Amino acid sequence: MIEIRVQSLGVDQASKGHVVILQEVGGDRMLPIWIGPTEASAIGMELAGLKPTRPMTHDLAASLIRSLGGSVQRVIISKVQDNTYFAELVIQRGSELFSIDARPSDSIAIALRTQARLFTNDDLLAANAIEVEPADKASESVEETRQQMTAEQLQEYLRKLKPEDLGRFNP
């Protein structure tokens, strides 16, 4: 298994779809996954450290897992089939491990809320990854961006992000 992390979040200007870019930890390969606007918002809010006044769906899911005595051990982006990515949410409760089929976007949003690690397999990463030149100012990691910007500035940054800011890929 290859550990990955959320590198950035943006909008593909061609399709107007939201894209989460996952990067292998300690490597240059990146995996773009197109996601829905609700999940993009949930991921973006968590990355920006914004907490809603009432729990959103992914906050509720994380709370339910904890309240039932479980913990999210890891998320595995496991395969792509007919241009649809699949993920597994691996939850431990006591000595039992549960693997739950889930959308990658939901799994990522929950993983961020529970500090769970993200993984994929080498075959999936090799077949679907994009390689990116060394990062410049336009494609900083979300962590670097978050440390330098207020929540409003981050939202504006994400709104203006263009596909070329994320590296070379074909939507």
CA dist 39 and 161 (Å) reads 17
What residues contact 39, with CB distance under 8 A and at least 6 apart? 18, 103, 105, 106, 108, 109
In this prediction, residue 89 carries a pLDDT of 97
Q: How far is CA 19 from CA 64, 73, 97, in A?
A: 27, 24, 30
Whether 29 and 125 have beta carbons less than 8 Å apart is answered as: yes
Q: What is the domain partition of the chain in residue ranges? A: 2-166
Give CATH for domain 2-166. 3.10.690.10
In this prediction, residue 139 carries a pLDDT of 44
Residue 13 — very low, low, confident or very high, per pLDDT cuts 50/70/90? Answer: confident
- Which amino acid belongs to residue 92? Q
In this prediction, residue 154 carries a pLDDT of 56
Give the tens place of pLDDT for each residue, 118-152: 999 999 988 887 755 444 444 444 444 444 455 56
In this prediction, residue 151 carries a pLDDT of 56
Whether 67 and 114 have beta carbons less than 8 Å apart is answered as: no
**Other CB atoms closer than 10 Å to residue 50's CB: what's the count?**
12
DSSP 3-state assignment of 167?
A: coil
Does pTM surpass 0.85?
A: no
In this prediction, residue 88 carries a pLDDT of 97
99, HSE (Cβ side, Cα atoms, 13 Å)? 6
DSSP 3-state assignment of 22?
A: strand
Q: What percent of the chain has pLDDT over 70?
A: 76
User: Residue 153 pLDDT more than 60?
Assistant: no
Identify which of 109, 127, 126 has the alpha carbon closest to the alpha carbon of residue 118: 109
